[in-house]
Amino acid sequence: MSNSDYSSRRILEIEACTNCRICAEVCPAVQATGDGKLSGVYRVSQLKNILRSRTAFWSKLFRYKGPTASEWKDFSQTVFSCTLCGACQEVCPSGIHLKELWLEVRQDLKRSLYYPEKIDTIQENLDESHNVFGEDNEERVDWVEECRDPPDSGFCQDTADIVYFTGCVSSFYPLAQQIPVALAEMFQIADVNFTLLGQDEWCCGFPLLGAGLDALVEDFINHNMAMVEQKAANTVVFSCPSCYRMWQERYPYRGKFSIAHTTEFLLRLVRENRLNFKGSPMKVTYHDPCDLGRGAREFENARLLIQSVPEVELIELENNRENCRCCGGGGNLEMIDAALSAKITERKIKEILATGAQAVITSCQQCVRTITTWVRRNEVPIQVFDITRFIRRALQR
């Protein structure tokens, strides 16, 4: 292992940690288990010792030789038992970029060979199939068959104004496939000239970052950029917050085309009177996805969309916007520790039920998947919608 995975700025940030433990108070994994070793403050304290053990001056001064194999394994477990929700970073009084730090630590651990076996599965799937599930990538647009009136082209055109970047989960996971179906039908209703990339769409690359495989991301970025540019589009639309955030942070799209999450794009269509609603009396609450909310700082578009539907009453969660609690579905956690992910989801469900809402709406297919799975398994009487499906349901046509 090497300190080269960390920038000088990041090392200074690590040393700036005051051990205040505020990050532990908002960590969904700590809240769900009561285990302080899952907290950011614990990880940072361990990481300080690791970095110092690699530096000759500190190593001699403290006579610290570094962690044993058993200690490395324990440290790796806490690092990968994280949803990468960014709540710790949001509250850190020292301004440490903790989410970025956790990604760098995962990269460090991957090089050291102290990482969960599931990471190898993620890498193999993306290497071989270019999607996180290892499915045949030619099946990325099979969901189009569920649309009410799909064109012969299957929404795959040579050129178009809009590219809809569907994402792996919505493309392949049955529970999430109704999200692109709903969006495609609304694009038809609003006469949006759009196209899919089809089998030429590859994973955005975020699962690689979460797996500590940063070096492999560039190939995915270059490929997806080239495929979009071939379509001569002016905008790329995402229903997946992680794809959207990944493009914001890592893709060199600026000056070539714009990007938008579906909440922004659909609100634009509503304001242009290209989508019209019927009354839908219902009490709902809204769950801010971590990457769309804390990550991209987009909080209002979804709320304005929901409030555009007549007779809908929006009730806020106790923890909302930048303070919204994670659903448990991020950071590859479901693949690495499904039990911990479920415990985090359970706490989220309790907060949702406390609002008295009839339905919970979110803007993320992964949130829909984790919340819906828990609700169905435990027979909880509440409806779960992605905002795309909710808006499609409320349309007059």
Strand partners, 165: 238
For 97-100, the CB contacts below 8 A with 24+ separation are 97/10, 97/13, 98/23, 98/40, 98/44, 100/10
CA–CA separation, 394 vs 397, rounded Å? Answer: 9
Instruction: Name the helix (H) or strand (E) containing 301.
Output: helix 300-308
Query: In this predicted structure, what is the pLDDT of residue 151?
Result: 94
Between β-strands 359-362 and 194-196, what pairing exists: parallel, antiparallel or unpaired?
Answer: unpaired
Query: In this predicted structure, what is the pLDDT of residue 49?
Result: 85
Nearest to 165 by CA among 219, 217, 212, 233: 233
CA–CA separation, 372 vs 380, rounded Å? Answer: 9
Structural domains in the chain, CATH included, are 3-115 (1.10.1060), 119-269 (3.40.50.1860), 277-394 (3.40.50.11810)
- Spell out the SS3 assignment of 271-296: HCCCCCECCCCEEEEEECCCHHHHHC
Residue-wise pLDDT tens digits, 361-370: 999 999 999 9
Query: In this predicted structure, what is the pLDDT of residue 3?
Result: 62
CA–CA separation, 210 vs 169, rounded Å? Answer: 15
| Positions in the chain short of pLDDT 50 | 1, 57
Q: Say how far residue 349 (Cα) sits from the centre of its chain.
A: 19
CA–CA separation, 193 vs 274, rounded Å? Answer: 13
Query: In this predicted structure, what is the pLDDT of residue 11?
Result: 87
Residue-wise pLDDT tens digits, 291-319: 999 999 999 999 999 999 999 999 999 99
* Residue 148 vs residues 138, 176, 181: alpha-carbon distances, Å: 21, 17, 9
pTM, full prediction: 0.94
Query: In this predicted structure, what is the pLDDT of residue 8?
Result: 82
Evaluated on CA atoms 24, 28, 34, 38, the torsion sign reads negative
